[in-house]
Structure 1
Amino acid sequence: MTKHFTDLSGQSFDGFTVEVDEARQRGDIILDRGDYNTISMGQRDELRAAFEALDADPRVRVIVLRAIGEHFSSGGYIRGFLEASPEHVSKLADNIAAPARCEKPVIVANRGYTFGVGFEISLACDFRLVTPTTRYALPEQKLGQIPGSGGSARLQKIVGITRTKDIVMRSRRISGQQAYDWGIATEIHEDDQLEAATDKLAEELLAFSPMAQRTAKKMLNQAEECHLQTAIEVEGYNYSRLRQSDDFREGVLAFHEKRAPKFQGS
Structure 2
Amino acid sequence: MANIAKLLAGRAQHVLQVAAKQPQLAPRFFASAANLEYIKHEVTGEKKNVAVITLNRPKALNALCNGLMLELSQALDTYERDANVAAIVITGSEKAFAAGADIKEMQSNTYSDCIMGNFLNDWTRVARCQKPIIAAVNGYALGGGCELAMMCDIIYAGEKAKFGQPEIALGTIPGAGGTQRLTRAVGKSKAMEICLTGNMISAVEAEKMGLVSKVLPADQLVSEAIKLGEKIGTHSGLIVQLCKEAVNTAYETTLQEGLKFERRTFHATFATEDRKEGMTAFVEKRPAKFSNL
- The verdict on a shared fold, with TM-score over 0.5 as the criterion, is yes
* 1:206 is the counterpart of 2:233: yes
**Is the contact made by 1:15 and 1:39 (CA closer than 8 Å) also made in structure 2?**
no
* 1:90 is the counterpart of 2:118: yes
Name 1:138's counterpart in structure 2. 165
Of 42-51 and 109-118, deviating more is: 42-51
| CA displacement, residues 46-75 of structure 1 (integer Å, 9 cap, x when unaligned) | 322322232122221111101134221111
SS in 1 for 2:98: coil
Q: Does the C-alpha gap of structure 1 residues 230 and 246 become closer, same or farther in structure 2, counting only changes over 3 Å?
A: same
Distance 1:58 1:208 in 2: 14
Aligned partner (choices 89, 92, 96) of residue 71 of structure 1: 96
* 1:233 is the counterpart of 2:233: no
In structure 2, stretches of 5+ residues that fail to align are: 1-20
Deviation at 1:89, TM superposition (A): 6.0
Structure 2 length-normalised TM: 0.85
SS in 1 for 2:156: strand
**Is the contact made by 1:131 and 1:191 (CA closer than 8 Å) also made in structure 2?**
yes
* 1:55 is the counterpart of 2:80: yes
Deviation at 1:196, TM superposition (A): 2.2
Deviation at 1:183, TM superposition (A): 0.5
Name 1:25's counterpart in structure 2. 49
Distance 1:185 1:207 in 2: 23
Of 146-155 and 11-20, deviating more is: 11-20
Name 1:102's counterpart in structure 2. 129
Deviation at 1:175, TM superposition (A): 0.3
Q: Does the C-alpha gap of structure 1 residues 89 and 28 become closer, same or farther in structure 2, counting only changes over 3 Å?
A: farther
Deviation at 1:126, TM superposition (A): 0.5
Of 166-175 and 51-60, deviating more is: 51-60
Letter in 2 for 1:6: P
**Is the contact made by 1:131 and 1:177 (CA closer than 8 Å) also made in structure 2?**
no
| CA displacement, residues 7-33 of structure 1 (integer Å, 9 cap, x when unaligned) | 222422342122234942122211111
**Is the contact made by 2:50 and 2:230 (CA closer than 8 Å) also made in structure 1?**
no
Distance 2:199 2:123 in 1: 21
**Is the contact made by 1:48 and 1:98 (CA closer than 8 Å) also made in structure 2?**
yes
Deviation at 1:203, TM superposition (A): 1.1
* 1:13 is the counterpart of 2:36: yes
**Is the contact made by 2:89 and 2:226 (CA closer than 8 Å) also made in structure 1?**
no
**Is the contact made by 1:47 and 1:95 (CA closer than 8 Å) also made in structure 2?**
no
Name 2:200's counterpart in structure 1. 173
In structure 1, stretches of 5+ residues that fail to align are: none
Letter in 2 for 1:13: L
Deviation at 1:231, TM superposition (A): 1.0
| CA displacement, residues 67-112 of structure 1 (integer Å, 9 cap, x when unaligned) | 13422111121111124532576341x3332222111100110011
Distance 1:165 1:137 in 2: 12
Runs of 4+ in 1 over 4 A off after TM superposition: none
Letter in 1 for 2:86: R
Pair member with larger Rg: 2
Letter in 2 for 1:239: F
Equivalent runs, 1:139-154 vs 2, <5 Å: 139-154=166-181
Letter in 1 for 2:41: V
Name 1:220's counterpart in structure 2. 247
Deviation at 1:2, TM superposition (A): 4.5
Distance 2:135 2:227 in 1: 13
Name 2:150's counterpart in structure 1. 123
* RMSD, aligned α-carbons: 1.8
Structure 1 length-normalised TM: 0.93
Distance 2:122 2:147 in 1: 11
